[in-house]
Amino acid sequence: MSTDQYTVVDPTTKYPQPEFEEQQQPAPGLATEMTGPAPDHGESTYRGTGRLAGLKTVITGADSGIGRATAIAFAREGADVLISHLPEEEADAQQVAELVREAGRTAVTFAGDLSEEATNVALVEKAVQEFGRIDCLVVNAGRQQAVQDLQELSTEEFDRTFKTNVYSLFWLTKAAVPHIRPGGTIITTSSIQAYEPSPTLPHYASTKAAINTFSKALAQAVAEKGIRVNIVAPGPVWTPLQVSGGQPADALPTFGAQTPLGRAGQPAELAPAYVFLASAESSYVSGETLHVNGGMPTP
């Protein structure tokens, strides 16, 4: 395992390989309760270099997983962070807030269910109240609940998945764009599921494909405002989403083994992608999908 994100090591052995412990938590799951192995969010390894100095940022689903790693990275790169999370994830969110403050940056927490339109509007209002503007909006929160058979997929679950993953993206960006200045960015989160959907995740995979398309259309719509929109498409990443119904319990021991690198990704390996897309280094990149998936081929 590397000491920071700049140390070059063999990627196949950088993090634990399967098999993992079989485990389950009630949704939405907590990072602090994961075992065998505990996910790496970069708490001890991410080293910042001032690439996002002074930026005011909003990250949804920032209590755990990819959002947590991104919040830690953004803070260590010099950004203030609003951490959006579900009320049940308060304990994890407060841990992230403390890590942001330890980096010398402002942390704001916001609890609410983004499957409801009013919550998205209130989130943007909170960010503007606290920061005065939004320089980077990271839309990362998502709902993923596997089903063994299509007959098990209820209309309620299908609807809630779309409300959380797609409608929230629409509501958030619509509310946020007027508060993003030229040079600002929006980063959304798709998935390998948009390209190689699992039979247990038809609803989730469909939302990730929709996120891809919506984001590419949005990138064209706001380009004249000087706002860039890009997408990160993770592969299998070891997060609470997987152990709280996102994967069948018997699939967890070999989770990630199907990738060419032979293992699941860790949240800390996704954060640099978001940092790049939020930074001035990617100033000529918009409407792009950046795949971080362990080598899984995509169109």
The residues annotated with a catalytic role in the active site are 204
**Residue holding tokens 């990630």?**
256
3-state secondary structure of 289: strand
Q: How does DSSP assign 90-144, residue by residue?
A: HHHHHHHHHHHHHTT--EEEEE--TTSHHHHHHHHHHHHHHHSS-SEEEE-----
Cα end-to-end distance, the chain, whole Å: 31
Cα–Cα nearest to 252, from 156, 149, 146: 146
Q: Which residues in the chain belong to E strands, given as ranges?
A: 56-60, 80-85, 107-111, 136-139, 185-189, 228-234, 289-292
User: Residue 289 and residue 189: Cα distance in Å, rounded?
Assistant: 9
User: Residue 237 and residue 34: Cα distance in Å, rounded?
Assistant: 13
Residue 88 in contact with residue 113, Cβ under 8 Å? no
